Structure 1
């Protein structure tokens, strides 16, 4: 198994700083390549959201280098260790915030691909999609609006325009009680995986995402990169004011 990877991140048309952060790491094993792909959307005044997202990226990168090799052969330990790592980083950010009298935090959507299986980590409202013969959303937004939609209190059209859509139910660094959602699934050759922050998906339709990122639309990383940049520019043209980030991985 190998990966074709492309990404792009942009501060957007309004904000002066980009508090999003991304990670792409791969390694060779006896069974083929493994990969860890992450997007984080930091929040906090000035550069503090950037600090929170960078802290999570650094911590997960260290986990990939130092912990994963020790637990690589245990599927049960992979899931529990991923969750434990995020909870540890949650505590670290909280401690820093309390000591500095700051409020900061970050989302995390992380995709670990090992031996034709994926492990998905979710906290917040960044997203992961799988694209094959169709586009499938693999994560659930942990937002007030998503909860109200699931309960039937608002419609999908109302949810798209609701001014509360950026209110998170949880994020890394906000509260000690963090519920890390871990899901698993099988990976098939030729599939594309998209990770993105909410600045990307608010101003684009799922049909447009599928049409641009279908596995048969590109054969190399250069083509993928051009498509990813074009998608970010499209969202900016539609006046998205948030930071915009997406990371695309095609399994080959």
Structure 2
């Protein structure tokens, strides 16, 4: 198994700084390749959001390099349990670290995290906030649920989808890393098939683009190499900017292939 990778991040049309952060990290093991892919959105209205997102990226990378190798030789069932538990513990520890830093300096900072870990034929997904993960093969599947006030009101039937798109509370998060006293990350897992394409993005990307446009542009069979993926990601980000998205925008894609990435 190999990964074809592409990403693009942009400060957007209004903001001077980009508080988003991302990670693409792969490694060889005797059983095959594994990979960790993350997008984080530092809170735009909070002080030092870029510090929060960078701290989470560094902490998750350290876990991938030092702790994950210790459990990849476990039996399949035990490995699934261990990975999910360790992902949860890792992000809860980072939540405390960022929260303690903020309290000591009397500042507020926080970040979303959507992390995709691929180990052999399984993926593991860690999610806090409103960044997203999609799986694309014969169709497009949204793997995450937005943890926002508006998403909760929509789910409860208190507002319509049309109202949700223009609701001024659209960016109010129910929780985020560093600014939530008690963090409850959502961790899930599923199967990986050859040819799957996974796309992670911050909320600056998906508000101004439809699921139909995403699927048409990101069908895995359209991409035979990373350059094609990169060009498509850049085109989509520019399209979103033309539609006047004001937030930072980050997109990360990985396509699972049987051959060496080209």
When normalised by structure 2's length, the TM-score is 0.95
Deviations, residues 159-192 of structure 1 (Å, cap 9, x unaligned): 1111111000000001220001001100000010
Task: Quote the residue 2:58 is aligned against.
Answer: 58
Aligned length: 252
Give unmatched runs, 5+ long, in structure 1.
none
Runs of 4+ in 1 over 4 A off after TM superposition: 44-47
2:200 corresponds to which of 186, 195, 198: 195
When normalised by structure 1's length, the TM-score is 0.98
Task: Quote the residue 2:260 is aligned against.
Answer: none
Task: Quote the residue 1:68 is aligned against.
Answer: 68
Task: Quote the residue 2:140 is aligned against.
Answer: 135
Matches within 5 A, 1:215-234: 215-234=220-239
Is 1:121–2:109 an aligned residue pair? no
Matches within 5 A, 1:40-55: 40-43=40-43, 48-55=48-55
Task: Quote the residue 2:38 is aligned against.
Answer: 38
Task: Quote the residue 1:183 is aligned against.
Answer: 188
Task: Quote the residue 1:148 is aligned against.
Answer: 153
Taking a change above 3 Å as real, the CA distance of residues 213 and 106 of structure 1, as seen in their structure-2 partners, is: same
Taking a change above 3 Å as real, the CA distance of residues 46 and 119 of structure 1, as seen in their structure-2 partners, is: closer
Taking a change above 3 Å as real, the CA distance of residues 222 and 47 of structure 1, as seen in their structure-2 partners, is: farther
Matches within 5 A, 1:87-126: 87-126=92-131
Deviations, residues 75-129 of structure 1 (Å, cap 9, x unaligned): 2110000000000000000000000100100000000000110000000000000
| CA distance in 2 between partners of 1:138 and 1:90 (Å) | 23
Task: Quote the residue 2:9 is aligned against.
Answer: 9
Give unmatched runs, 5+ long, in structure 2.
258-262
Task: Quote the residue 2:167 is aligned against.
Answer: 162
